[in-house]
C-alpha cells in the first residue's frame, strides 16, 4: 500500500499507510518557514512527544485512543493504529435519533473521564472523535494538556457544542443534552451544572464564534 495523504492541517499531515502488514496512520508535523531551523525542530520534536504522552495518559483513564506503534522524534512523526470508521461528525448524519443520543452520551462519558482525570483535550470537536462499529476513539491530542481548571474544561465543552451546532443544526440540542447526560453520569450533577455555567460565561466573551 502506497502512503496516501488523507488530511492536511495547519500543523500536521496525516497519511494512511501500511505498518508491518497492517493499515496505520502516520502523523507528520510539518516544518514552518517562519521559524528558524533550530527552533522549528525543537518544537516539532517536543510536540510529537507531548502528543504521544497525552494519548498514553488518556488511555490509562479508560478513554480509547489509537494505539501508538512508533514514535520518530527525528522526523517528528507518530505512527498509530488505523481506526476503521467514520468521524463522529459523519456518523451522526446517518444514525437514528436513538443512535445519535447513544453516541453522544458515550462521548460524554469519555470526556468526563478525561476531565475527572485532570486532562483536557484542547480541540474538542466531533471531527476529532472516530467511531469504529460504535466504539468511540478520541484523536488529535496536539493541544491536550494536564489541567483541572474549570476554564479549560469549559472550553472543551464550548468547542464541542459549537461543532454540533454548526454541522447538525436541526438537532444539536438533542446531541448536546445527550452528551451532558453521559458527562454528568461520571462527573456528577453539581460539576455538570458548574461546567454549563462556565461554558456560557466563556461564550459571552464572544471569542469562539463560528467560522465562515
Partner 1 sequence: MVLYCLGIESTAHTFGVSVATDKGEILSDVRDVYTSAPGTGIHPREAAEHHSEVAARVVSQSLTQAGIRATKLAGVAVALGPGLGPCLRVGATVARALSSYLQIPLIPVNHAIGHIEIGTLTAGASDPLVVLVSGGHTAIAAFSGGHWRIFGETEDITLGNLYDMFAREIDLPSPAGPEIEKLAQKSSGFISLPYVVKGNDVSYSGLLTASLAELRSGRRLEDVCYSMQEVSCSMLAEAVERSLAYTGKKELLLTGGVAANKTLQSKLSEVAKLHDAAYYVVAGRYSGDNGAQIAWTGMLALRAGVVAEIDQARVRPKWRLEDVDIPWRDEGAA
Instruction: Select 147 or 191, whichever has its Cβ closest to partner 1.
Output: 147
Cα–Cα distances (Å) from 145 to 117, 123, 162, 173, in that order, read 11, 11, 21, 28
- What's the rounded Cα separation, in Å, for the pair 199 and 103? 21
Cell triple for 92: 451522526
Maximum Cα–Cα distance across the chain: 52
Say whether residue 211 binds partner 1 (CB under 8 A): yes
Binding-site size for partner 1 (CB under 8 A) equals: 21
Smallest gap from residue 21 Cβ to partner 1 (A): 35
Say whether residue 73 binds partner 1 (CB under 8 A): no
Q: Say if CB 52 and CB 69 are below 8 A apart.
A: no
- How do strand 77-81 and strand 68-72 relate by DSSP bridges? antiparallel
Q: x/- binding map, residues 3-32, to partner 1, per CB under 8 A?
A: ------xx---------------------x
Output the CA angle 124-72-127, nearest 5 degrees: 20
Say whether residue 204 binds partner 1 (CB under 8 A): no
Residue 40 is among the residues annotated as catalytic for this protein:
no
Name which position in 3, 39, 56, 67 contacts partner 1 (CB under 8 A).
39
Q: Specify the DSSP element, H or E, that contains 69.
A: strand 68-72
Say whether residue 36 binds partner 1 (CB under 8 A): yes
The DSSP letter of residue 87 is B
Instruction: Select 8 or 193, whichever has its Cβ closest to partner 1.
Output: 8
Smallest gap from residue 174 Cβ to partner 1 (A): 26
Look-up: residue for cell 520518530? 72
Say whether residue 38 binds partner 1 (CB under 8 A): yes
- What's the rounded Cα separation, in Å, for the pair 33 and 210? 29
Name which position in 108, 122, 154, 182 contacts partner 1 (CB under 8 A).
122
Name which position in 90, 102, 123, 132 contacts partner 1 (CB under 8 A).
123
Catalytic residues: 123
What is the contact surface with partner 1 in residues (CB under 8 A)? 9-10, 32-36, 38-39, 42-43, 122-123, 143, 145, 205-207, 209, 211-212
Amino acid at each position: 500500500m502506497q502512503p496516501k495523504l488523507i488530511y492536511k492541517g495547519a500543523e500536521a499531515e496525516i497519511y494512511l499507510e501500511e505498518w508491518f502488514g497492517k493499515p496505520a496512520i502516520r502523523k507528520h508535523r510539518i516544518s514552518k518557514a517562519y521559524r528558524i531551523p533550530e527552533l522549528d525542530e525543537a518544537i516539532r520534536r517536543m510536540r510529537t512527544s507531548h502528543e504521544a504522552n497525552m494519548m498514553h495518559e488518556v488511555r490509562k483513564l479508560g478513554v480509547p485512543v489509537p494505539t501508538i506503534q512508533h514514535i520518530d522524534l527525528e522526523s517528528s512523526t507518530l505512527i498509530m493504529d488505523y481506526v476503521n470508521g467514520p468521524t463522529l461528525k459523519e456518523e451522526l448524519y446517518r444514525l437514528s435519533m436513538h443512535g445519535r443520543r447513544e453516541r453522544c452520551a458515550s462521548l460524554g462519558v469519555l470526556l468526563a473521564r478525561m476531565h475527572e482525570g485532570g486532562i483536557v483535550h484542547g480541540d474538542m470537536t466531533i471531527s476529532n472523535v472516530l467511531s469504529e462499529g460504535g466504539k468511540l476513539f478520541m484523536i488529535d491530542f496536539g493541544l491536550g494538556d494536564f489541567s483541572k481548571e474549570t476554564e479549560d474544561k469549559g472550553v472543551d465543552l464550548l468547542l464541542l457544542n459549537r461543532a454540533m451546532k454548526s454541522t447538525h443544526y436541526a438537532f444539536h440540542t438533542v446531541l448536546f443534552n445527550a452528551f451532558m447526560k453521559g458527562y454528568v453520569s461520571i462527573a456528577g450533577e453539581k460539576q455538570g451544572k458548574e461546567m454549563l455555567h462556565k461554558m456560557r460565561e466563556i461564550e459571552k466573551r464572544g471569542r469562539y464564534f463560528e467560522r465562515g
